[in-house]
Amino acid sequence: MIQAMHELAATHLDPFLYERIAEKIAGLIQKRTFRPGEKVPSVRRMSLQERVSISTVLQAYFLLEDRGLIEARPQSGFYVRLQPRPLLPEPAISKPSLSASQVNVSELVASIHDAIARPDIVPLGAATPSEELLPVKRLNRILARIARESDGEEHSYGVIQGSPDLRHQIARRSVDWGCSFSEEDIVVTFGCTEAINLCLRAVAGPGDVIAVESPTYYGFLQIIESLKMKALEIPTHPRDGICLEMLDNAIQRNPIKVCLIVSNFSNPIGSRIPQAKKKELVQLLFRKQIPLIEDDIYGELYFDQERPGVCKAFDTNGQVLLCSSFSKCLSPGYRVGWTSPGRYKDEVKRLKLMNSLSTVIPTQLAISEMLRTGGYDHHMRRIRRAYSSQVQKMTEAIGHYFPNGTRVTRPRGGFVLWVEFPKTVDTLELYRKALEAKISIAPGSLFSPKQLYRNCIRINCAHPWNDKLDLAISTLGKLVV
């Protein structure tokens, strides 16, 4: 049913359709057809009535929510707001041009990463977790014990696919995100970075076109660049992720070899693809025989009650290559990531052998032990609360200090915010000025191969809130104007 509607919607495809629907509803609210506190038509009803997809209606409603006209009530629907909301509006869905690009964004990235190591810099640039929120003492104790009790096995090259213990622990937990892996399904890698590298190389080659979200994680763009592939930006909503109609459209016009996305709490815009839409995405790509590389590195950092599922959960034929790591939750320095590459496992394993042979063993065993004993769950409850609160505080500070016309995302997980300034602001210039003031930010153009988003920045909220951060945001607010 939804399928048919989607296809229908695709026949009169229009990126501005949702805006027109939003305006229609806004008009009805203004005319008091729908009054404050009253329910607006359900998403399903509007989709049938307007002959458009569920996604399009949702985008329209999110836009109205941004403008403070309606609000979502859990398990009920959307209602006309009693009064305007105090939050800054969200950025709108992105509108990148639909042609593939050679990628070249690496100039700034090294300097942003180098800033991490400088204690005099306020680190709002790189998306690194705070050491204060990592289970440093516990991991240290575990690693020391592993080293003390080692019988020498930790010093061998080890199994190429990764420690069976660790793979077992990951497989055991895969039910949390809707999968049911066995340890044989998993290949351990040096962080998510190596996993994405190997998966891209398993399914695509030089010159091939990779569909990515817009904006997307600059690390993806760098990997694509280094592999001499091309990136094609697909419009992406800050709330519900990549636009399926536009993706479908792009697939018809371009030889897309693989789609690469962050399904939950994407970096940088924090979007989370709803479960039904994840299923639609997998089905769309299945019909087109295009593999999906899904990065779920932020999936465990959810702020609401439930751990969101992954696209991989809807994968019936092994076309989804799920990638993740423990760098955001446990320890970046341990460099332990993994992939469950579906039908591409043999190729990924072969590339792992050629890329780095095998993964460091003692740190794999330390992570495995942390997962086995439950120390992980306790730790995760703590940092989810912390990140949720820090994102909230950062959002408030941005609302307070940043100029009128600023928009900011409202992620329900992860630890980055995406800030959209008025069009006149040049954030590359802001980046340089901020660095002089000893504040590191990530300028928006990094997140697009076409260097769109020149008026945007990404802010890392991983560090516990303090006066230094407050002052940094206040300083940034002054530098913008």
What residue ranges bind a second copy (CB under 8 A)?
A: 106, 109-110, 113-114, 116-117, 126, 128, 131, 134, 136, 139-141, 143-145, 147-148, 150, 152-160, 190-191, 193-194, 197, 201, 205-206, 219, 222-223, 225-226, 228, 327, 331-335, 349-351, 353-363
Residue 335 falls in which region: left (phi positive, over 0), alpha (psi -120 to 50) or beta: left
Q: How far is the CB of 189 from a second copy (least distance, A)?
A: 8
> How many other CB atoms sit within 10 Å of the CB of residue 53?
25
In the sheet that holds 442-443, the strands lie side by side as 407-408, 416-420, 456-460, 442-443
Q: How far is the CB of 195 from a second copy (least distance, A)?
A: 10
Joined together, the tokens standing for residue 277 give: 């839409």
Q: How far is the CB of 327 from a second copy (least distance, A)?
A: 8
* Closest residue by Cα to residue 312 from 344, 278, 338: 278
β-sheet bridge partners, residue 236: 242
Residue 151 or 306: which CB sits closer to a second copy? 151
Residue 248's φ and ψ, nearest 5 degrees, are: -60, -45
Residue 301 or 361: which CB sits closer to a second copy? 361
The rounded distance, in Å, linking the Cα atoms of 222 and 104 is 7
Q: How far is the CB of 70 from a second copy (least distance, A)?
A: 42
Residue 49 or 226: which CB sits closer to a second copy? 226
Q: Are 253 and 284 in contact, with CB atoms under 8 Å apart?
A: no
DSSP 443: E
Q: How far is the CB of 147 from a second copy (least distance, A)?
A: 4
In 141-248, at which residue ranges do the beta strands (DSSP E only) sit?
A: 187-189, 209-214, 230-237, 241-242
Residue 14 or 131: which CB sits closer to a second copy? 131
Residue 37 or 206: which CB sits closer to a second copy? 206
* Closest residue by Cα to residue 267 from 297, 225, 231: 297
* Closest residue by Cα to residue 336 from 362, 363, 309, 318: 363
Q: Which residue has the tokens 């320890």?
A: 331
Residue 13 or 108: which CB sits closer to a second copy? 108
The rounded distance, in Å, linking the Cα atoms of 394 and 390 is 6
Joined together, the tokens standing for residue 9 give: 């919607």
Q: How far is the CB of 170 from a second copy (least distance, A)?
A: 18
Residue 266 or 359: which CB sits closer to a second copy? 359
Residue 54 or 200: which CB sits closer to a second copy? 200
Residue 124 or 285: which CB sits closer to a second copy? 124
Q: How far is the CB of 5 from a second copy (least distance, A)?
A: 41
CA angle 410, 416, 422 (to 5 degrees): 65
Q: How far is the CB of 471 from a second copy (least distance, A)?
A: 23
Q: How far is the CB of 149 from a second copy (least distance, A)?
A: 8
* Closest residue by Cα to residue 429 from 414, 417, 412, 441: 441
Q: Which residues are CB-neighbours of 141 under 8 A, at least 6 positions away?
A: none
β-sheet bridge partners, residue 189: 337
